[in-house]
Amino acid sequence: TVRPFSEIPGLWKNSLSNLYTFWKLDGFRNIHRIMVHNFNTFGPIYREKIGYYESVNIIKPEDAAILFKAEGHYPKRLRVEAWTSYRDYRNRKYGVLLKDGEDWRSNRVILNREVISPKVQGNFVPLLDEVGQDFVTRVHKKIERSGQNQWTTDLSHELFKYALESVSTVLYGERLGLLLDYIDPEVQHFIDCITLMFKSTCPMLYIPPSLLRRVGAKVWNDHVKAWDGIFNQADRCIQNIYRQLRKESGAQGKYPGVLASLLMLDRLSIEEIKASVTELMAGGVDTTSITLLWTLYELARHPDLQEELRAEVTAARTASQGDRLQMLKMVPLLKGALKETLRLHPVAVSLQRYIAEDIVIQNYHIPSGTLVQLGLYAMGRDHRIFPHPEQYLPSRWLPTESHYFRSLGFGFGPRQCLGRRIAETEMQLFLIHMLENFRIQKQRQVEVRSTFELILLPKKPILLTIKPL
Ligand code: HEM
Ligand code: 2DC
């Protein structure tokens, strides 16, 4: 017999004292480890209430399958109040990230065609390949300047620029030139604003932004400043393309980028296009750059694997005669490496849905409308789901095995990451370029842990040494 919802184990009865313990454990920074701890204490399902939001947490792939089958036609995630409050406060439209219901679906369908459908990848590859090429040139220059035939550095700032240049090139169909020696202070400001926006969101997951705004809290002011900076820069880029398009209508066969394609398609209002393009631009920086940094870190820690990947890339290059699009189909281990990175270092600690129908998980009844969270970080590190979870083994993702509801770094279904194809292409090409040109090494073998700043980031700077092959 199915047990009732009220019997699900967990610390959900006293939310205020939970908030207090949470605070004491520095829970804001450690959500991912607290979730692991909770699964160890309560088993594969537990209920939780912290501050104003209540959820059921699950960890097993089979249960994830049940969750996503119950997501309905309009899948809905946990609403990040800080983000919607800002839009309401400044009277700006929601893009796909924040919309829900039919409004979300109708926008998302149109965006899918231009951003994530397989047919656009061919347009993205040459653009992104050029950015990868420029990154290599830049690193060679840095190595030369060091006078030591190597370059030891915290690559994160370079990777932020690489990621922003990549996503901008695809969105606007033209280069911003971020990999040149001179960096426009406005662009640096934009990058800083994204990091601040994520960071200042965290406390507002638990304390209502409306309250913080009323008391004039610093975190709310920081958050507003951050989004203002993001929207100002995105507006400048969008205006620029819009003006160009009006002057020279109908380009000569060249792929014009996502924004111009959407404008010419004319199925979304300009305000809606602006809202979603801004979200794409802001969502495309910290996510891919941090995933690449973690991947380089893992490659530096596993030199034999690095050589194996290099061999795969070299063979793919020969077999495809340098055709990059073709080449991307011949690097399964490299793709496995990215999946392995997202298993151990997911950008999102959890995936969530408000379920659209009643379900039964682990023999407990869960009523329709409940917020159910899949603990992505905890799942990736569970030995019952991934044997020897502490080992970085890209080969576990080769197509010979089944990966039923295990590869969820980008989410799942119609509400999955809209930037997925851009992210994957951009990251694969980056690694191909790096492996073709450099060897990555690391000084000491110390484990770097994650810290939660809305997305998971390395707790300490990662220092890598890059040498020409
Ligand atoms: C949503 C992960 C890169 C834009 C999401 C979600 C995840 C995710 C887990 C929620 C999906 C769900 O609820 O099922 C990642 C990871 C990335 C990445 C791991 C890179 C390693 C990007 C990039 C962009 C982007 C490069 C923009 C170009 C978005 C947007 C949404 C989203 C707009 C909301 C989609 C919607 O609500 O319909 N991402 N993302 N992401 N991501 Fe990403
Ligand atoms: C954070 O408890 C932890 O892709 C919360 O590119 C639940 C939660 C809700 C939504 C998640 C968020 C977490 C992590 C960051 C995500 C976000 C949805 C989209 C966003 C996963 C797990 C991200 C990074 C987007 C960001 C777009 C940008 C314009 C803000």
For residue 249, the model assigns a pLDDT of 61
Percentage of the chain surpassing pLDDT 70? 96
Q: Which residues line ligand 2 (CB under 6 A)?
A: 77-78, 80, 97, 205, 279, 282-283, 287, 347-350, 352, 417, 454-455
Please tell me the number of the ligand nearest to residue 169's CA.
Answer: 1
For residue 421, the model assigns a pLDDT of 97
Q: How confident is the model at residue 446 (pLDDT cuts 50, 70, 90)?
A: confident
For residue 253, the model assigns a pLDDT of 76
Within 10 angstroms of residue 322's Cβ, the number of other Cβ atoms is: 9
Dihedrals phi, psi of 12, to nearest 5 degrees: -105, 0
pLDDT digits (tens, 9 = 90+) for 214-247: 999 999 999 999 999 999 999 999 999 999 988 8
pLDDT digits (tens, 9 = 90+) for 116-174: 999 999 999 999 999 999 999 999 999 999 999 999 999 999 999 999 999 999 999 99
pLDDT at 193 > cutoff 90:
yes
CB 256 within 8 A of CB 274: no
- Identify which of 55, 350, 373, 450 to mutate to test ligand 2's pocket (most ligand atoms within 8 A of the CB): 350
Cα of 180 to ligand 2 centre, how many Å?
Answer: 30
Dihedrals phi, psi of 468, to nearest 5 degrees: -65, 150
For residue 306, the model assigns a pLDDT of 98
Burial classification of residue 6, based on how many CB atoms lie within 10 Å of its CB (0-12 exposed, 13-18 middle, 19 or more buried): exposed
Q: Which residues line ligand 1 (CB under 6 A)?
A: 77, 96-97, 108, 167, 279-280, 283-284, 287-288, 291, 342, 347-348, 351, 409-412, 415-419, 422-423
246 contacts: CB under 8 Å, gap ≥ 6: none
Cα of 334 to ligand 2 centre, how many Å?
Answer: 25
Query: Across the chain, what does the average pLDDT equal?
Result: 94
Report residue 86 as tokens: 């800002």
Q: How confident is the model at residue 13 (pLDDT cuts 50, 70, 90)?
A: low
Lowest mean pLDDT among 48-57, 233-242, 298-307, 424-433: 48-57
218 contacts: CB under 8 Å, gap ≥ 6: none
Q: Model-level pTM greater than 0.80?
A: yes
Mean pLDDT throughout 34-55? 88
Q: What single-letter amino acid sits at 281?
A: M
Query: 224-242 in b/e burial notation, b at 16+ Cβ within 10 A?
Result: bebbebbbebbeebbeebe
| CA atoms in the 13 A half-sphere facing the CB of 282 | 29
Question: Which ligand 2 atom is the nearest neighbour of the CA of 198?
Answer: 30
pLDDT at 251 > cutoff 80:
no
pLDDT at 182 > cutoff 90:
no
For residue 389, the model assigns a pLDDT of 98
pLDDT digits (tens, 9 = 90+) for 64-88: 999 999 999 999 999 999 999 999 9
Q: How many angstroms separate the CA atoms of 346 and 371, rounded?
A: 21
